[in-house]
Amino acid sequence: MSKYQTLLYYCYSHIENAEQFAADHLQFCKSLNLVGRIIVADEGLNGTVSGDSGSCAKYMTAVKADPRFKETDFKIDDVEEPSFIKMHCRYKTEIVHSGLRDPNIINPGKKTGIHLEPSDFREMMDRDDVVILDVRSNYEHSIGRFKNAVTLDMENFREFPEKINQLAKFKDKKIITYCTGGIKCEKASALLLHEGFPEVYQLHGGIIKYGKEVGGQNFEGKCYVFDSRVAVDVNSVNPVAISTCRNCGSVTEKMINCANPECNEHFTQCDCCGTLLDGACSEECKSHPRKRIYDGTGYYVKVPQPVNVKSKSRINDNVLD
């Protein structure tokens, strides 16, 4: 066992006084010397935390000891060092932002697509009557996705409801949704059922669980994760790289944020171009007076930006999957 671990998890379960719970939970995590990001909402928990293996074990035991979260499925990665710098636990209106808070439409505790275990997903994925639907954002599926998956052109998950009309041609098929850890599928599959798709399934535990349990067969590229690792290997059966450097077009699976904080664009860049452009996406950004020091990772702690400057960041300010 590695000295450190990173835990990915979510649980849809109503939390009374969720804002206070978030404050208390932050202190609990700090008492265990954990780092990470947790979102707390009235509807449940969504988190990635990291620390030494003993602290992670205590955390999982404590979470599952709470009757509200006893069914939480933790995805555990051994890591060389903690995957975050600080510990954040914040209250928000949803644990994954969909913009749909009407419980008559979206209520993962009552109605979702049928959960498929990784082995069942692997058996179904190549059938002619099945469509594999990626419900993640562009920057996530650009670096890795299942072979022949249908992807949607969206910057974030809250755009998913407006994209459903594009899927109408698949209503006579079995739809299987997938995402990183499963949380987006709970809402995506529920919305598809509400919109009249008759047979909807979801990959239980997402890409991460699929990789751990059945070797990640037919997942092409790497899986984007919301921590300092940025992307992780999934496929140990038939791996293939699919992403290319934005600047030169060579094959690369390295994803970074532009070193210019006023751009902060999230994109794939090979090490050669990273060196030439000093971690920037262009010569213009390379010469920007506020350009950050590039250490070869392209991962930066979020910094304040001038008023009215829109951030393009995905790695530092996005919600967890």
Q: Report yes or no on whether pTM surpasses 0.75.
A: yes
Q: At a CB cut-off of 8 Å and minimum separation 6, what does 292 contact?
A: 259, 260, 261, 279, 300, 303
Spans in the chain with pLDDT lower than 50: 303-319
The reported pLDDT for the residue numbered 1 is 59
Predicted pLDDT at 312: 43
Which residue in 32, 67, 37, 39 sits closest to 53, CA to CA? Answer: 32
Tell me the CATH number of domain 4-91, given options 3.20.20.70, 3.30.365.10, 3.30.70.100, 3.40.50.1980.
3.30.70.100
pLDDT on residue 311? 41
Identical fold, 4-91 and 114-219: no
**Is there a catalytic annotation at residue 179?**
yes
pLDDT at 310: 45
pLDDT value of position 269: 96
Order of strands across the sheet with 4-12? 75-79, 4-12, 44-52, 35-41, 87-91
User: Catalytic: which of 89, 179, 245, 263?
Assistant: 179
Q: Residue 98: its pLDDT value, please?
A: 86
Task: Could you please state the CATH topology (level 3) that the domain comprising 114-219 is classified under.
Answer: Oxidized Rhodanese; domain 1 (3.40.250)
Kindly list the domain boundaries of the chain, sorted by start residue. Answer: 4-91, 114-219, 243-321
Cβ–Cβ under 8 Å, residues 99 and 188 = no
Q: Using the CB atoms, write b or e for 289-309: b if 16+ within 10 Å.
A: eebbebeeebbbeeeeeeeee
Phi, psi of 127 (to 5 degrees): -75, 150
Structure confidence at residue 205 (pLDDT): 97
* pLDDT tens, position by position, 257-268: 999 999 999 999
DSSP label of 244: B
